[in-house]
Amino acid sequence: MSGDGVSPTPRLESTENPDVPQGLTTIGGRSAYIALFSQIGITLLVANLGGALLGNWVDEGLGTRPLFLIAGFLGGFAIGAIGAARLVRRALRMFEALDEAAANKRLEERLAREQERRGQ
């Protein structure tokens, strides 16, 4: 707390360098997997539940129980599967970019060491 009675503004940004790749074995890497699996689960849940509820609502209106309930569930599963596949594809691209960044960094460090060794 400063002398004027006003507390300092908290930092909102991360203290980690965003240019440094996070390995998949670090805490940041593991949390990426946890976030991905959570997103997949929520996507499948919402799509299946939404399709089933919509199908049930149509069945109640038309009196055709359980025809649209089953169709809605299957449609929701298909939509959820497509959404999950997109999430996985996006995550894999991100993981590949991180691996490439780490490989480039190792190459730059190795070249710098070799150049330093030649200069001595």
CA atoms within 13 A on the CB side of 64: 12
Structure tokens at 13: 């940004």
The per-residue pLDDT for 34 is 87
Other CB atoms within 10 A of residue 64 CB:
13
Mean pLDDT along residues 96-109: 89
Domain limits at 86? 27-119
According to the model, what pLDDT value does residue 111 have? 94
Residue written as tokens 């710098």?
Answer: 112
Is residue 66 in some structural domain? yes
Q: Confirm whether 39 is domain-assigned.
A: yes
17 assigned to some structural domain? no
Going by C-alpha positions, the residue among 48, 32, 26 that lies closest to residue 87 is 32
- Residue-wise pLDDT tens digits, 45-102: 999 999 999 999 999 999 998 999 999 999 999 999 999 999 999 988 988 888 888 8
Q: Which residue has the higher pLDDT, 48 or 26?
A: 48
Of the pLDDT bands very low, low, confident and very high (cuts 50, 70, 90), residue 1 is very low
Count the domains in the chain: 1
Give the pLDDT of residue 30. Answer: 75
CA distance 40 to 26: 21
- pLDDT value of residue 12: 54
Do the domain assignments include residue 10? no
User: Looking at the domain assignment, is residue 20 inside a domain?
Assistant: no
Tell me if 5 is assigned to some domain: no
Residue 115 in tokens = 């150049």
- Mean pLDDT rounded to a whole number for the chain: 84
Please report whether residue 115 resides in a domain.
yes
